[in-house]
Amino acid sequence: AQTVTQSQPEMSVQEAETVTLSCTYDTSESNYYLFWYKQPPSRQMILVIRQEAYKQQNATENRFSVNFQKAAKSFSLKISDSQLGDTAMYFCAFMKPSNSKLTFGKGITLSVRP
Amino acid sequence: NAGVTQTPKFRVLKTGQSMTLLCAQDMNHEYMYWYRQDPGMGLRLIHYSVGEGTTAKGEVPDGYNVSRLKKQNFLLGLESAAPSQTSVYFCASSYGLADTDTQYFGPGTRLTVL
Protein backbone atom coordinates (compact mmCIF):
# COMPACT_ATOMS: atom_id res chain seq x y z
CA ALA A 1 0.00 0.00 0.00
CA GLN A 2 1.09 3.54 -0.66
CA THR A 3 1.69 6.09 2.09
CA VAL A 4 2.04 9.85 1.81
CA THR A 5 3.75 11.83 4.56
CA GLN A 6 3.52 15.55 5.18
CA SER A 7 5.58 16.04 8.31
CA GLN A 8 5.09 19.79 8.76
CA PRO A 9 1.61 20.52 10.19
CA GLU A 10 1.87 24.30 9.80
CA MET A 11 3.94 26.91 8.01
CA SER A 12 3.88 30.68 7.77
CA VAL A 13 5.32 32.98 5.11
CA GLN A 14 5.47 36.70 4.50
CA GLU A 15 3.52 38.02 1.54
CA ALA A 16 5.63 38.16 -1.66
CA GLU A 17 8.17 35.66 -0.34
CA THR A 18 8.76 32.07 -1.41
CA VAL A 19 7.78 29.00 0.58
CA THR A 20 8.34 25.28 0.06
CA LEU A 21 5.98 22.59 1.34
CA SER A 22 7.41 19.11 1.79
CA CYS A 23 5.93 15.74 0.91
CA THR A 24 7.40 12.25 0.83
CA TYR A 25 5.76 9.05 -0.27
CA ASP A 26 6.39 5.36 -0.22
CA THR A 27 5.54 3.03 -3.09
CA SER A 28 6.90 0.07 -5.00
CA GLU A 29 5.26 1.26 -8.22
CA SER A 30 7.35 2.67 -11.06
CA ASN A 31 4.53 4.59 -12.77
CA TYR A 32 2.23 6.86 -10.80
CA TYR A 33 0.93 10.40 -10.47
CA LEU A 34 1.44 12.96 -7.75
CA PHE A 35 -0.77 15.92 -6.94
CA TRP A 36 -0.97 18.97 -4.75
CA TYR A 37 -4.45 20.11 -3.78
CA LYS A 38 -5.32 23.37 -2.04
CA GLN A 39 -8.20 23.68 0.43
CA PRO A 40 -8.98 27.31 1.35
CA PRO A 41 -11.33 28.20 4.20
CA SER A 42 -14.24 27.75 1.78
CA ARG A 43 -13.48 23.99 2.05
CA GLN A 44 -13.39 23.49 -1.73
CA MET A 45 -10.61 21.15 -2.89
CA ILE A 46 -8.72 22.80 -5.74
CA LEU A 47 -6.11 21.09 -7.89
CA VAL A 48 -2.86 23.07 -7.81
CA ILE A 49 -0.45 20.93 -9.81
CA ARG A 50 0.08 17.39 -11.12
CA GLN A 51 3.24 15.43 -11.89
CA GLU A 52 3.59 12.21 -13.87
CA ALA A 53 6.34 9.98 -12.45
CA TYR A 54 7.66 9.08 -15.91
CA LYS A 55 8.36 12.73 -16.70
CA GLN A 56 11.74 14.00 -15.57
CA GLN A 57 10.77 17.64 -16.00
CA ASN A 58 9.27 19.26 -12.93
CA ALA A 59 5.72 20.54 -13.39
CA THR A 60 5.00 24.27 -13.12
CA GLU A 61 1.76 26.27 -13.00
CA ASN A 62 2.34 30.01 -12.83
CA ARG A 63 3.69 30.73 -9.31
CA PHE A 64 3.54 27.06 -8.31
CA SER A 65 6.26 24.56 -9.12
CA VAL A 66 7.35 21.19 -7.81
CA ASN A 67 10.67 19.58 -7.04
CA PHE A 68 10.13 15.92 -7.90
CA GLN A 69 12.91 13.60 -6.76
CA LYS A 70 11.82 10.11 -7.81
CA ALA A 71 14.72 8.21 -6.28
CA ALA A 72 14.25 9.97 -2.95
CA LYS A 73 10.43 9.68 -3.23
CA SER A 74 10.08 13.36 -2.54
CA PHE A 75 7.57 15.79 -4.03
CA SER A 76 7.78 19.33 -2.66
CA LEU A 77 5.68 22.32 -3.71
CA LYS A 78 7.25 25.75 -4.12
CA ILE A 79 5.04 28.82 -4.03
CA SER A 80 6.71 31.95 -5.34
CA ASP A 81 5.57 35.51 -4.67
CA SER A 82 3.15 34.31 -1.98
CA GLN A 83 -0.22 36.03 -1.91
CA LEU A 84 -2.81 36.36 0.86
CA GLY A 85 -5.12 34.14 -1.20
CA ASP A 86 -2.61 31.30 -0.89
CA THR A 87 -3.60 30.92 2.76
CA ALA A 88 -5.07 27.41 2.86
CA MET A 89 -4.47 23.81 3.76
CA TYR A 90 -2.38 21.98 1.17
CA PHE A 91 -2.60 18.25 0.56
CA CYS A 92 -0.12 16.05 -1.24
CA ALA A 93 -1.66 13.00 -2.93
CA PHE A 94 -0.52 9.87 -4.77
CA MET A 95 -2.36 7.94 -7.48
CA LYS A 96 -1.69 4.60 -9.14
CA PRO A 97 -2.93 4.72 -12.75
CA SER A 98 -4.21 1.16 -12.49
CA ASN A 99 -6.89 2.00 -9.94
CA SER A 100 -7.20 5.81 -10.03
CA LYS A 101 -7.55 5.98 -6.26
CA LEU A 102 -5.97 8.91 -4.42
CA THR A 103 -3.97 8.47 -1.22
CA PHE A 104 -3.68 11.75 0.66
CA GLY A 105 -1.22 13.07 3.18
CA LYS A 106 -2.54 14.68 6.36
CA GLY A 107 -2.11 18.17 4.98
CA ILE A 108 -0.22 21.30 5.95
CA THR A 109 -1.78 24.60 6.97
CA LEU A 110 -0.10 27.54 5.23
CA SER A 111 -0.63 31.08 6.49
CA VAL A 112 0.48 34.05 4.40
CA ARG A 113 1.17 37.12 6.53
CA PRO A 114 0.55 40.63 5.15
CA ASN B 1 -21.04 23.47 -16.31
CA ALA B 2 -21.78 22.99 -12.60
CA GLY B 3 -18.94 20.47 -12.21
CA VAL B 4 -19.46 18.32 -9.12
CA THR B 5 -22.31 19.22 -6.80
CA GLN B 6 -23.28 17.76 -3.43
CA THR B 7 -26.58 17.80 -1.58
CA PRO B 8 -27.02 18.78 1.24
CA LYS B 9 -24.22 21.14 2.34
CA PHE B 10 -24.91 20.66 6.05
CA ARG B 11 -26.83 18.09 8.07
CA VAL B 12 -27.32 17.20 11.72
CA LEU B 13 -28.46 13.70 12.61
CA LYS B 14 -29.23 11.87 15.81
CA THR B 15 -27.54 8.56 16.52
CA GLY B 16 -29.36 5.77 14.73
CA GLN B 17 -30.97 7.92 12.05
CA SER B 18 -30.36 7.29 8.38
CA MET B 19 -29.62 9.62 5.51
CA THR B 20 -28.40 9.75 1.92
CA LEU B 21 -25.89 12.17 0.46
CA LEU B 22 -26.23 12.90 -3.23
CA CYS B 23 -23.36 13.66 -5.58
CA ALA B 24 -23.94 14.75 -9.16
CA GLN B 25 -21.47 15.53 -11.95
CA ASP B 26 -22.06 16.92 -15.42
CA MET B 27 -18.63 16.21 -16.92
CA ASN B 28 -19.50 12.73 -18.26
CA HIS B 29 -16.92 11.20 -15.91
CA GLU B 30 -16.81 7.43 -15.56
CA TYR B 31 -15.27 7.27 -12.09
CA MET B 32 -16.78 8.69 -8.92
CA TYR B 33 -15.54 8.65 -5.32
CA TRP B 34 -16.65 9.38 -1.77
CA TYR B 35 -14.11 10.60 0.80
CA ARG B 36 -14.34 11.69 4.39
CA GLN B 37 -12.13 14.36 5.93
CA ASP B 38 -11.36 14.39 9.63
CA PRO B 39 -9.01 16.76 11.47
CA GLY B 40 -5.40 15.63 11.23
CA MET B 41 -6.32 12.69 8.96
CA GLY B 42 -6.40 14.10 5.46
CA LEU B 43 -9.00 12.63 3.12
CA ARG B 44 -9.78 8.92 3.22
CA LEU B 45 -11.60 6.97 0.53
CA ILE B 46 -14.90 5.41 1.61
CA HIS B 47 -16.26 3.87 -1.61
CA TYR B 48 -15.80 4.44 -5.30
CA SER B 49 -17.32 3.51 -8.64
CA VAL B 50 -15.64 2.87 -11.98
CA GLY B 51 -18.84 3.10 -13.98
CA GLU B 52 -22.62 3.04 -13.90
CA GLY B 53 -23.89 0.09 -11.88
CA THR B 54 -20.53 -0.64 -10.23
CA THR B 55 -19.24 0.10 -6.74
CA ALA B 56 -16.18 -0.91 -4.72
CA LYS B 57 -14.88 -0.47 -1.19
CA GLY B 58 -12.20 2.02 -0.31
CA GLU B 59 -10.12 2.44 2.81
CA VAL B 60 -12.92 3.09 5.35
CA PRO B 61 -16.17 1.54 4.03
CA ASP B 62 -17.75 0.28 7.27
CA GLY B 63 -21.09 1.85 8.13
CA TYR B 64 -21.66 3.22 4.61
CA ASN B 65 -23.37 1.99 1.46
CA VAL B 66 -23.32 3.46 -2.04
CA SER B 67 -25.19 3.18 -5.30
CA ARG B 68 -24.47 4.33 -8.86
CA LEU B 69 -27.71 3.81 -10.75
CA LYS B 70 -27.01 6.62 -13.18
CA LYS B 71 -23.64 7.63 -14.59
CA GLN B 72 -23.95 11.19 -13.34
CA ASN B 73 -25.02 10.37 -9.78
CA PHE B 74 -23.30 8.65 -6.86
CA LEU B 75 -25.20 8.22 -3.60
CA LEU B 76 -23.69 7.65 -0.16
CA GLY B 77 -25.96 6.17 2.50
CA LEU B 78 -25.68 5.94 6.25
CA GLU B 79 -28.16 3.33 7.51
CA SER B 80 -27.67 3.93 11.24
CA ALA B 81 -25.58 7.01 11.93
CA ALA B 82 -22.98 6.98 14.72
CA PRO B 83 -21.09 9.89 16.30
CA SER B 84 -17.89 8.49 14.72
CA GLN B 85 -19.37 9.39 11.35
CA THR B 86 -19.30 13.08 12.17
CA SER B 87 -17.09 14.40 9.39
CA VAL B 88 -16.91 16.41 6.20
CA TYR B 89 -17.77 14.29 3.17
CA PHE B 90 -16.41 15.00 -0.28
CA CYS B 91 -17.45 13.56 -3.59
CA ALA B 92 -15.09 13.56 -6.56
CA SER B 93 -15.17 12.39 -10.16
CA SER B 94 -12.69 11.68 -12.96
CA TYR B 95 -12.49 10.25 -16.46
CA GLY B 96 -10.63 7.20 -15.19
CA LEU B 97 -8.15 7.35 -18.08
CA ALA B 98 -4.51 7.24 -17.03
CA ASP B 99 -3.27 10.22 -19.00
CA THR B 100 -6.11 12.54 -18.02
CA ASP B 101 -6.97 11.14 -14.63
CA THR B 102 -7.41 14.12 -12.35
CA GLN B 103 -10.13 14.07 -9.72
CA TYR B 104 -12.45 17.04 -9.40
CA PHE B 105 -14.11 17.62 -6.06
CA GLY B 106 -17.51 18.82 -4.90
CA PRO B 107 -17.91 21.49 -2.20
CA GLY B 108 -18.34 18.99 0.63
CA THR B 109 -21.08 18.13 3.13
CA ARG B 110 -20.58 18.75 6.82
CA LEU B 111 -22.36 16.04 8.79
CA THR B 112 -22.76 16.08 12.55
CA VAL B 113 -24.11 13.04 14.38
CA LEU B 114 -25.27 13.73 17.93
Average of per-residue pLDDT across A20-24? 98
Q: Are B78 and B64 in contact (CB under 8 A)?
A: yes
Distance from CA of B50 to the nearest CA of A (A): 9
Question: Minimum mean pLDDT among A13-22, A94-103, B46-55: which range?
Answer: A94-103
Above pLDDT 70, what percent of chain A?
100
- C-alpha closest to that of B91 among B80, B101, B73, B106: B106
Q: Distance between CA atoms of B2 and B73, rounded to whole angstroms?
A: 13
Tell me the chain B residues in contact with residue A97 when contact means C-beta distances shorter than 8 Å: 98, 101
Contact A101 B50 (CB under 8 A): no
Using alpha carbons only, give the angle B111, B33, A104 rounded to the nearest 5 degrees: 85
Q: Are B18 and B65 in contact (CB under 8 A)?
A: no
pLDDT digits (tens, 9 = 90+) for B18-63: 999 999 999 999 999 999 999 888 899 999 999 999 999 999 999 9
pLDDT of residue A97: 80
Q: Distance between CA atoms of B22 and B49, rounded to whole angstroms?
A: 14
Q: Distance between CA atoms of A13 and A21, rounded to whole angstroms?
A: 11
Which residues of chain A approach chain B closer than 8 Å at the C-beta? 4, 33, 35, 37, 42-47, 50, 91, 95, 97, 100-102, 104-107
Phi and psi torsions of B99, nearest 5° = -80, -10
Q: Are B47 and B64 in contact (CB under 8 A)?
A: yes
Does residue B98 have a pLDDT over 70?
Answer: no
Q: Counting every residue, how long is chain A?
A: 114
pLDDT digits (tens, 9 = 90+) for A37-82: 999 999 999 999 999 998 889 999 999 999 999 999 999 999 999 9
Phi and psi torsions of A5, nearest 5° = -120, 125
Residue of A37, A61, A102 to mutate when probing chain B, most B C-beta within 10 A:
A102
Q: Distance between CA atoms of B50 and B54, rounded to whole angstroms?
A: 6
Confidence of residue A32 (pLDDT cuts 50, 70, 90): very high
pLDDT of residue B40: 84
Nearest to B107 among A4, A44, A100 (CB): A44
Does residue B99 have a pLDDT over 80?
Answer: no
Contact B107 A43 (CB under 8 A): yes
Bridge-based pairing of strands B10-13 and B109-113 is: parallel
Phi and psi torsions of B83, nearest 5° = -55, -30
As a whole number of Å, the CA-based R_g of chain B is 13
